[in-house]
Amino acid sequence: MALYLIGDVQGCDAALQDLLDTIDFSPSRDALYVLGDLVNRGPDSSGVLRRLMAYGDAAHCLLGNHDLHLLALAQGVRKPNRKDTLACVLDAPDRSALLHWLRHQKMAMLLHRGDTPLLMVHAGVLPGWTASQTIALAHEVETVVKGPRSAEFFTAMYGNMPNQWSETLTGMDRLRVIVNALTRLRFCTPVGEMEFESKEGAGGAPQGYVPWFDVASRKTARIDVAFGHWSTMGWLARSDVISMDTGCVWGGSLSALRFNLQDTTQELIQVACAMSQQPG
């Protein structure tokens, strides 16, 4: 059995098929952990969803900001952006099944790899959150996304404020901070104030901010955290973080990291992607 982390697919189903063929993936033998942004900007978001849904328990997927955006569009509480390529899902004959499956995916996942936990998120983790707290907060959002209050949630989901976590937050403000950290975070201050305008690589932090994983006091510093979302940074593997978004939809590559649960050995596999859009 092989386990694979996969970065942002963003509707590039042909590249996903090429990657799975390259790693000789078998859903009866192997497992995928896809780090969010399954859809949007690429040409075949519906194909990506159908493929992953068909793998059943062999595919474990996170919700990224583009996936949540699709669900908001489906609820009718948001209009499409100019660069969205989500009509193939919204107009699909199996739309209901695809969206039902998507609504039941995770916001964060935790595995144990050797003696070290592996925390998986789409974008980031605030410095004051532990791994167990991150999973608990993710579950709060998961419950609302698949529950009867989902339209209310998606209506209030967009926005940058509050930009810092507090245990006193309640209601939609609380959920928005959780969502923004897990699906949009790149830079924050050492005390966890989030910044959402900058899309540069890790070296392009605005004054007073650092990449979220470089906060010295981060409570997840002693575990492994895998994430996507940050195509301008690309592949990064160090002792405590693994960055998996290698910009497939922007003309880069789609990446899979083969790993196991017994130790920290790993192997990177990449395929080229034909897309050549501009990040945005």
The pLDDT value given to residue 275: 63
Which of 143, 149, 11 lies closest to 77, judged by CA?
A: 149
- Long-range contact pairs involving 20-28 (C-beta distance under 8 Å, separation at least 24): 22/269, 22/271, 23/256, 23/258, 23/269, 27/55, 27/56, 27/58, 27/59, 28/58
The pLDDT value given to residue 113: 84
The pLDDT value given to residue 260: 87
The pLDDT value given to residue 278: 43
The range of the structural domain enclosing residue 116 comes to: 3-272
Number of domains the chain is built from: 1
Q: Is residue 278 part of a domain?
A: no
CA-to-CA separations, 111 to 3, 108, 119, 143, 271, in angstroms, rounded: 11, 10, 7, 21, 26
Q: What is the CATH number of the domain that holds 163?
A: 3.60.21.10
CB-based burial label for 85 (10 Å; 0-12, 13-18, 19+): buried
Report helix, strand or coil for 195.
strand
The pLDDT value given to residue 261: 87
Which of 196, 139, 131, 126 lies closest to 166, judged by CA?
A: 126
The pLDDT value given to residue 64: 98
Q: Is residue 230 part of a domain?
A: yes
The pLDDT value given to residue 124: 98
Q: Is residue 109 part of a domain?
A: yes
Per-residue pLDDT of the chain (280 residues; tens, 9 = 90+): 899 999 999 999 999 999 999 999 999 999 999 999 999 999 999 999 999 999 999 999 999 999 999 999 999 999 999 999 999 999 999 999 999 999 999 999 999 988 889 999 999 999 999 999 999 999 999 999 999 999 999 999 999 999 999 999 999 999 999 999 999 999 999 999 999 999 999 999 999 999 999 999 999 999 999 999 999 999 999 889 999 999 999 999 999 999 988 887 899 999 998 765 443 4
Q: Is residue 132 part of a domain?
A: yes
Q: Is residue 235 part of a domain?
A: yes
Which of 85, 81, 80, 83 lies closest to 42, judged by CA?
A: 85
The pLDDT value given to residue 277: 47
The pLDDT value given to residue 280: 40
Q: Is residue 277 part of a domain?
A: no
Q: Is residue 280 part of a domain?
A: no
Contact 157, 181 (CB under 8 A): no
Q: Is residue 249 part of a domain?
A: yes
Contact 98, 92 (CB under 8 A): yes
